[in-house]
Structure 1
């Protein structure tokens, strides 16, 4: 029997331990910010689901029959909770709307479907559990499709929201390496791929694929691990995210692909004022070199120039077709090129030059340099 395989017992127990550790850190995080509540709920559900799996694989579930299948409906919440967490990040606070009830409809429907089963006696549940022999495609295919589609939908919404979050960070910060959740974005894409693989696996199993159960369990386990890694990434980067979020000012939440005309349709900034601000900005950047300050924010530049931050953001967007992050780092790279060409500084490392011009890491310097010159500093100097 598959439930007697020690390998699965071991890895699921490790998953429980991992989730419990994350649970501890998320509880501490919530004391600082409520935006992490959806992740805390996710960690609790993961612990519960993993415990049910351990009991199932070891056969101990027969001693606690009322727990059988109590975790089935929870699968519909994973993608949704991740989306709600990222939406909180975008708005820098715990967001809840009346319309959010609609997001929980798939979960509620699933609960209603399982409701008659929950009211069965312990003997009836044990009888049903012992009568099961592997996975019945005919009975579970629609449930799988429902589960896949709901989670993929919310994961896709989470990915879109995360892209907006990362874009808006760059509107105000010159250093986003630790607060831009690019790693989380990649993990969400991995989750979507794993769900799609499960979908394909269910389909080809109708054609007589023999090792469906083993691979299905592996994919489910991998998905659980990826979700936990997303929570881990949130814990690791929470310090930087909370610091940055607390220092940001209220600017409109915009998408990268939004039309420039629509962005500033209601702006009070005239064309003459815009040109004047552009001139002031250029002179200030050339003479004062504020970009040499690490972690420079648009709020700081606003205070230094006495220009409202939303006007600076608009001028940078309209006049330079850049966001604040790109605008500042372009000056840093320009300064870095001067240092790289200076014969007196040929013994300097790239890391030293990166810090000298305002970057906080060598990787951030390389990324910005390659985006502007489409090559590495070494190849650029050789040319």
Structure 2
């Protein structure tokens, strides 16, 4: 079964290649997070190959280092990536450091083994694989299960306000993570040594490529699944009425100029539950709330940028006048709508 190691090695190298391409494709936090996820995935496979083959006899100093650390970071990194996809998260916050707690627990609980000299560490693991090392595989399986539920909650909370493409993507990658969670729990229950996990990696990685293929070439399958399991009880006439009220308050009465305007505020104005408002945005207006509001703010900004009365206004002041909270969000939204930056648009209009 040596061919399995070569397949896993090729998959790890492919993951590194994809991670590099995603990293340099765009500097957004969304791209950087999925790039880091692929990098961790590739590293995890490579570290496993090194630990389960004869490589450790040549370089025992690296034995057991980073395997669990990297594995324990995959769930948190996917969680952060989903936040960028579903909720527009743009940067790390201080509380994101809590994702590192399992890694710290591992260092504290297994540190006495990690600090052993390489050869002694190899021998110790062979003697205590089932009563020491496997305990951390149980921790890994438990942590993956917890994050799996967290991922599912993120999707269900945003299912009505997202377009089909990002939702399909989120469902696909969480499905992959779910399969990985089930497989790691199964193999942890029955494995006797590191080599027994090679089937886990092979099956899991092949499923990743299969789901990626389905997502890319047959997205209609996921669309059908969404329609079946995420359909709503709103009638077409109700969604039409909600859409008309949205336009009345957001566009006609220019509520988008309020920089603290939220979907909760809008739902209170039109007296409709916020999840129904989110659903109407997704299914009728084909934009989420932030995209819709920021588009109208950007269009309003075009009038300010070309109005001579506002020639002396700086760009950040124009952003505030248009309802944006900061210049960064203004630049991103304006460039997306108009295809040029606010400064370039002002210059072209003169």
Give TM class, smaller chain.
0.5 to 0.7
In structure 1, the gaps of 5 or more residues are 170-175, 237-255, 257-276, 283-297, 330-383
Partner of 1:173: none
Query: Is the contact made by 2:159 and 2:167 (CA closer than 8 Å) also made in structure 1?
Result: yes
Q: In 1, distance between residues paired with 2:242 and 2:143?
A: 51
1:127-155 CA distance string (max 9 Å, x none): 446xx28x943334432221111111112
Instruction: Please report the TM-score for the alignment, with normalisation by the length of structure 2.
Output: 0.58
| Secondary structure of the structure 1 residue equivalent to 2:160 | helix
Residues 300, 153 of structure 1: alpha-carbon distance in 2 compared, 3 angstrom cutoff: farther
Alignment of 1:311-326 (within 5 A): 315=270, 317=272, 323-326=280-283
Residues 300, 147 of structure 1: alpha-carbon distance in 2 compared, 3 angstrom cutoff: farther
Give the Å deviation of 1:57: 4.7
Give the Å deviation of 1:81: 0.8
Partner of 1:103: 99
Give the Å deviation of 1:66: 1.7
| Secondary structure of the structure 2 residue equivalent to 1:25 | helix
Give the Å deviation of 1:106: 0.7
Instruction: Please report the TM-score for the alignment, with normalisation by the length of structure 1.
Output: 0.53
Query: Is the contact made by 2:20 and 2:35 (CA closer than 8 Å) also made in structure 1?
Result: no
Partner of 1:124: 120
Alignment of 1:284-295 (within 5 A): none
Partner of 2:171: 185
Q: Does 1:34 align with 2:29?
A: yes
Q: In 2, distance between residues paired with 1:181 and 1:26?
A: 20
Q: In 2, distance between residues paired with 1:139 and 1:118?
A: 12
1:150-206 CA distance string (max 9 Å, x none): 11111221222133344332xxxxxx23x3232431442343244234434544x4x
Alignment of 1:15-54 (within 5 A): 15-31=11-27, 33-54=28-49
Query: Is the contact made by 1:82 and 1:155 (CA closer than 8 Å) also made in structure 2?
Result: no
Residues 312, 67 of structure 1: alpha-carbon distance in 2 compared, 3 angstrom cutoff: same
1:7-30 CA distance string (max 9 Å, x none): 221111121122112112221244
When the two chains are superposed, the root-mean-square deviation of aligned CA atoms in Å is 4.4
Partner of 2:345: none
Bigger relative CO (Cα 8 Å, ≥ 6 apart): 1
Partner of 1:75: 71
Give the Å deviation of 1:53: 2.9
Alignment of 1:120-269 (within 5 A): 120-128=116-124, 132=126, 136-169=129-162, 176-177=163-164, 179-203=165-189, 205=190, 216-224=197-205
Q: Does 1:281 align with 2:244?
A: yes
Partner of 1:63: 58
Give the Å deviation of 1:79: 1.0
Q: Does 1:93 align with 2:95?
A: no
| Secondary structure of the structure 2 residue equivalent to 1:168 | coil
Give the Å deviation of 1:307: 5.5
Residues 278, 121 of structure 1: alpha-carbon distance in 2 compared, 3 angstrom cutoff: closer
Q: In 2, distance between residues paired with 1:116 and 1:299?
A: 63
1:46-78 CA distance string (max 9 Å, x none): 232222233345412322222211112321111
Larger helix proportion of the pair: 2
Instruction: Return the index of the structure with the highest Cα Rg.
Output: 1
| Secondary structure of the structure 1 residue equivalent to 2:166 | coil
Query: Is the contact made by 1:316 and 1:324 (CA closer than 8 Å) also made in structure 2?
Result: no
Aligned residues: 255
1:334-371 CA distance string (max 9 Å, x none): xxxxxxxxxxxxxxxxxxxxxxxxxxxxxxxxxxxxxx
Q: Which moved more, 1:44-53 or 1:221-230?
A: 221-230
| Secondary structure of the structure 2 residue equivalent to 1:102 | helix
Alignment of 1:321-360 (within 5 A): 323-327=280-284
